[in-house]
Structure 1
Amino acid sequence: MKELVFLVEGQAEKDLLDVLLPRALPDGVRHRVIPFEGKQDLEKQMGRRIRGYQNPAARFIVLRDQDSHADCKALKAGLLARCEGTGREAHCLVRIACTELETFYLADLAAVERALEMPGLARQQGSRKFRRPDALGSPSRELKTLTKLRYEKRAGSRLIGQQLDLDNERSPSFRHLVAAIRRLSAELDSA
């Protein structure tokens, strides 16, 4: 069975992917999102979950927030090291949301406007702050302020995820996630 499996740190990431993936994956490639109870739980259990996964044709993407971790590359290398020894390391990719999941949303304020029914919000995309959202220190706080506290993590992830432009390039970390999804699903589709 052609399957793309995501290991994510929590429910908000699962909520986002559950509505985003049906639009991103070709017919015939299934997806499964496995949420953990935070970063430590993800890091502690991911190797065991990958190793024990029953579908031998599955491909894996680990998605984690950068948060306050200073070095994105070191964080990614550490997560890849946890994939070593699973027997599936060749079928694992790691993607980091710089700095938080909300960066993806701030990169597409038109999607936030439509999802939260806040006319005029997309006009702020041109402001200096939202042109490079991966550089923001606290995207979740920025999003709450921008939406006048209407954004809530899980519900917002579901609503905004339905509207996100898959070809949006304002957030390099979102662009890399979508590219990984497309690359692995094409690999599965051609297998």
Structure 2
Amino acid sequence: MRELVFLLEEESAAAMLKTLLPRMLNPGITPRYMPFEGKQDLEKQLPKRLKGYLNPNARFIVLRDQDRDADCKALKARLATMCAEAGRCATSSVRIACRELEAFYLADLEAVGRALGIPNLDRHQRAARFRSPDTVVSPSSELAKLCKQVGYKKVGDSRKIGAVLSIDNERSPSFRNLLGAIRRHERELLALPDSS
């Protein structure tokens, strides 16, 4: 079985991916989601989970928020080292959401408005801070302010937003990099013989 396995900091990332991926992933690839209880839990369990995964036709994407880590490249390198130590260097990609998963949503306020039933939310996209959402210090706080009339619910709304989030949106480089990793691993998996 060809599997694309996501090791995720939290459940909201899984909720978003579960509704985003059916629109972009080849049906011959099975996505698997491993949400953790935050970044410490992810980093503690990552090597063991990667080593213990038995399917040779699996590829892995580790997705973690940057949060307050000042050096995104050092964070990514540390997680990549964990993948390498687990023997999964060639089959894994590490992606960092700058600063939080919600930056992906701030990059596509039209989708957020549509998903959550907030008319004209996309008019805020012209504001300087939302043109480059990866630079927003606290994307979840900004999103909560924009969605105050409906109340932003991290997991439930991530599921709704993922269903309509544009896969062609270029405003968030970290989102673009995540989609690039998904597409690259999809190509690798489709090139493998199916052993199901």
Global fold match (TM > 0.5): yes
Residue matched to 1:16: 16
The whole-number CA distance in structure 2 between the counterparts of 1:125 and 1:95 is 24
SS in 2 for 1:84: helix
Residue matched to 2:69: 69
Residue matched to 2:84: 84
Alpha-carbon offset, residue 27 of structure 1: 2.0
SS in 2 for 1:41: helix
> Is structure 2 residue 176 aligned with structure 1 residue 175?
yes
Q: Write out per-residue CA displacement over residues 13-39 of structure 1, whole angstroms, 9 at most, x where no aligned residue.
A: 111111111112112011001011110
SS in 2 for 1:89: coil
> Is structure 2 residue 40 aligned with structure 1 residue 40?
yes
The whole-number CA distance in structure 2 between the counterparts of 1:180 and 1:44 is 23
The whole-number CA distance in structure 2 between the counterparts of 1:22 and 1:33 is 14
State the percentage of identical aligned residues.
58
Alpha-carbon offset, residue 54 of structure 1: 1.7
1:43-62 equivalent positions in 2, closer than 5 A:
43-62=43-62
Residue matched to 2:166: 165
SS in 1 for 2:63: strand
SS in 2 for 1:183: helix
Give ranges in structure 2 of 5+ residues lacking alignment.
none
Alpha-carbon offset, residue 87 of structure 1: 2.1
Q: Is the 8 A contact 1:83 1:92 kept in 2?
A: yes
Q: Write out per-residue CA displacement over residues 168-187 of structure 1, whole angstroms, 9 at most, x where no aligned residue.
A: 00000000000110110011
The whole-number CA distance in structure 2 between the counterparts of 1:141 and 1:103 is 10
Higher deviation after alignment, 21-30 or 101-110: 21-30
Residue matched to 2:185: 184
SS in 2 for 1:6: strand
Alpha-carbon offset, residue 127 of structure 1: 1.4
TM-score calculated relative to the size of structure 1: 0.98
Q: Write out per-residue CA displacement over residues 36-92 of structure 1, whole angstroms, 9 at most, x where no aligned residue.
A: 111001001111101110211100000000000000000000001111222222101
The RMSD of aligned alpha carbons is 0.9
TM-score calculated relative to the size of structure 2: 0.95
1:132-143 equivalent positions in 2, closer than 5 A:
132-143=132-143
The whole-number CA distance in structure 2 between the counterparts of 1:75 and 1:136 is 18
The whole-number CA distance in structure 1 between the counterparts of 2:106 and 2:33 is 23
The whole-number CA distance in structure 2 between the counterparts of 1:24 and 1:89 is 25
> Is structure 2 residue 129 aligned with structure 1 residue 119?
no
Q: Is the 8 A contact 1:7 1:42 kept in 2?
A: yes
Residue matched to 1:93: 93
The whole-number CA distance in structure 2 between the counterparts of 1:74 and 1:88 is 19
The whole-number CA distance in structure 2 between the counterparts of 1:85 and 1:33 is 21
